[in-house]
Amino acid sequence: MQKNNSFLFYAIVYFFICILIVPSISMAKEKILWIYVDYPPYGIVRGENKGTGILDELTDYLIKRLPHYESEKHISNVKRLLFTLKNTESSCSCGINKTPEREKELYFSLPALIAPGVGVCTRKQLVEKIGSHKKVSLKKLLNNKQLTLGIPAARSFDPSIDPIIKEHLHSKNVYSIFGTNINTSLMKMLIHKRIDYMMARPNESTYLAKEMGKAHEIINIPLEEASNYILSYIACSRNKHGFEVIKQINKILKTQRNSAEYKKLLENSIDKNYLSKFRQRYNDFFLKTTE
């Protein structure tokens, strides 16, 4: 009789433990690791403007609209970011350019960002050597061995630009660097004459030069081979979890890309002189692009 009572007691205790534990397990949120890089004015990870970059704000915008996921942020460089996206179960990142190689290993959202095309950022004293202040050819620049290009390792700029850089990647006049604040480092190298030019979008080079008090010394020259505007995406790990997250993100983008709040978010870093053209491109191109 005593044994039966003991058995009944433990059975009741076990039953109540199960009642308490099972709901908490079933209610546990799936996790998203949001990875972002230091690319002012897109990602700003230090200083007074920390967290106010376009990609910082876009990440927060999505986190707010994905409350059923537990979100965590992590700063990385481009190479490590891509490695993490490919090799973890629940990672995502905003502002990733599509390439055929990346599409095989990651899931991509609808276009989430439209940005000005990449140009050549250089010192004003070098404009004559560069060849023009209106538009230049990257191919011709790379063939000029007297000029050194500084680039971030593993970054994709533009489908028409990437193959040109890849062809010259191991040339002595191309200097690749790694790190978490690559554009800032490259701008310092440019100002101190350790490199002659770097690749940057006009709003990137303007922001960095102003931050360093050198806006009057730096110029951004458009490239003949580059697009006027480039689309970027949100990328997630290529697995079941990533597929589901991208589905949820696409629902948000479909309803929000045309909202005043979303447009304002993307306009924050655009120079006032380019704002009218940007808005036209946003409406005529960005909103109509579905892949």
Q: Which CATH architecture has domain 30-115+230-286?
A: 3-Layer(aba) Sandwich (3.40)
Question: In whole angstroms, what is the distance from residue 13 CA to residue 77 CA?
Answer: 51
Q: In this structure, what token pair is assigned to residue 55?
A: 């990609």
The pLDDT mean for the chain works out to 87
Return the number of other C-beta atoms located less than 10 Å from residue 266's C-beta. 20
DSSP per-residue string spanning 38-65: -BTTTB--SSTTTT-SHHHHHHHHHHHT
State the distance between the two ends of the chain, measured CA to CA, in whole angstroms. 72
**Interval 1-33: pLDDT, tens:** 454 555 554 445 455 454 554 444 445 689 999
Q: Is the pLDDT of residue 248 over 50?
A: yes
DSSP run (H or E) holding 74? strand 69-75
Mean pLDDT of all residues in 252-280: 89
pLDDT at residue 6, as a whole number: 55
Mean pLDDT of all residues in 156-172: 92
The letter for the amino acid at 140 is K
Question: In whole angstroms, what is the distance from residue 253 CA to residue 241 CA?
Answer: 19
pLDDT tier for residue 161 given thresholds of 50, 70 and 90: very high
Strand partners of residue 198: 121, 150
Same fold, 30-115+230-286 and 119-222: yes
Question: In whole angstroms, what is the distance from residue 30 CA to residue 34 CA?
Answer: 13
**Interval 168-210: pLDDT, tens:** 999 999 999 887 778 889 999 999 999 999 999 988 998 999 9
**Interval 102-145: pLDDT, tens:** 999 999 999 999 988 999 999 999 998 998 888 999 999 999 99
φ and ψ at 103, to 5 degrees? -65, -25
Q: Is the peptide bond before 116 cis (omega within 30 degrees of 0)?
A: no
Q: Is the pLDDT of residue 150 over 90?
A: yes
The letter for the amino acid at 179 is G
Question: In whole angstroms, what is the distance from residue 233 CA to residue 202 CA?
Answer: 20
The letter for the amino acid at 18 is C
Burial class of residue 126, CB neighbours in 10 A (0-12, 13-18, 19+): middle
Give the CATH number of domain 119-222: 3.40.190.10
Domain ranges of the chain: 30-115+230-286, 119-222
User: Structure pTM?
Assistant: 0.82
Q: Which of 23-37, 65-79, 229-243 has the lowest mean pLDDT?
A: 23-37
Q: Is the pLDDT of residue 280 over 70?
A: yes
**Interval 38-49: pLDDT, tens:** 888 888 888 888
pLDDT at residue 22, as a whole number: 47
Mean pLDDT of all residues in 255-271: 89
